A and B are shown apart, each in its own frame.
Chain A
């Protein structure tokens, strides 16, 4: 068991960046979802909550996605160099991060449109909620390595 837990020291920093980015990404995307759902039930605060979603997306979601994804690529390059075949649990991570980037891009565009309209569209918290669930699937795959 102990041997399975040992990894080279050079993997630790990229792994740390990857996990830090992923946890902050989870929290900031959840914030977008929370602001979006809250704006449906708090009349008079739609403008405030759409700005909260926009700032969180710009200063939280985008940087943390880059950190998570760059950290992932860095450690995959060390753990599976060259053309080495990656296991299924890593493929799950790529499935979540790459189509997930498209989902986030659409969410970002809808937030921008929403801010101009002064009210968050329902699609914003729904898409953010879907991405939060996808991140949950990814972290179960990444940590359990089934």
Chain B
């Protein structure tokens, strides 16, 4: 395989880790929505950390090898689709990071409640279903799908 092909392998690996990690987080988050016991919510939120590792590694791989690919393939760093993809990748990470911080606070509350009797709590239930947290996390996923579309169509290239 030539340099371009190897770069594409690592870039696509990053995309799989990024979008696949998002799918893992979504599946576990959706499972947590229906739970009441704090220890169960804590367990599911804890497993989401595996997704966060995949998302972080995927973002780095996709970004670094994406930049390298732009150079190798002869595209311009200021081409509209390239700029839009990088801006949207940053937006997706910002949204996901903000949603993740709120989820971490929810996990901390679940940990406290689990340690003190593990009884269902209306406050915890409300935080798990918090529409702002859900909008931030799922909004991040939607933005990543738009980035994937930009990568495939490359409008203006």
Contacts and interface: CB of A to CB of B under 8 A. Distances in A.
Contacts of B27: 27-28, 31, 52, 55-56, 60
B16 A5 contact: no
Contacts of B51: 27
Contacts of A9: 153
Contacts, number: 108
Interface residues of A, number: 38
Query: Mostly helix, strand, loop or mixed at chain B's interface?
Result: helix
B5 A146 contact: yes
Interface residues of B, number: 39
A23 B152 contact: no
Interface string B19-63: 111111011101100010001100110010011001000000000
Interface stretch (A13-21, A91-99, A102-110, A116-124): A13-21
A5 B20 contact: no
A12 interface: yes
A51 B4 CA distance: 43
Contacts of B40: 45, 48
Nearest to B145: A20
Given A38-B43, A140-B9, A146-B1, A16 B149 contact: yes
B73 A31 contact: no
A23 B43 contact: no
Interface in B98-157: 145, 148-149, 152-153
B16 A26 contact: yes
Given A16-B149, A144-B5, A146-B1, A24 B19 contact: yes
Contact of A5 (B21, B28, B73): B73
A146 B5 CA distance: 8
B20 A34 contact: no
A85 interface: no
Given A22-B16, A23-B16, A30-B24, A144 B152 contact: no
Top 5 closest A-B pairs, CB basis?
Answer: A27-B23, A27-B20, A23-B19, A143-B12, A26-B20
Given A5-B73, A30-B20, A146-B1, 14 more contacts: A1-B74, A9-B153, A16-B152, A23-B16, A23-B148, A26-B16, A28-B23, A34-B28, A34-B47, A38-B47, A52-B28, A56-B27, A56-B31, A142-B12
Interface of B: 1, 4-6, 8-9, 11-13, 15-16, 19-24, 26-28, 30-31, 35, 39-40, 43-44, 47, 50-51, 54, 72-74, 145, 148-149, 152-153
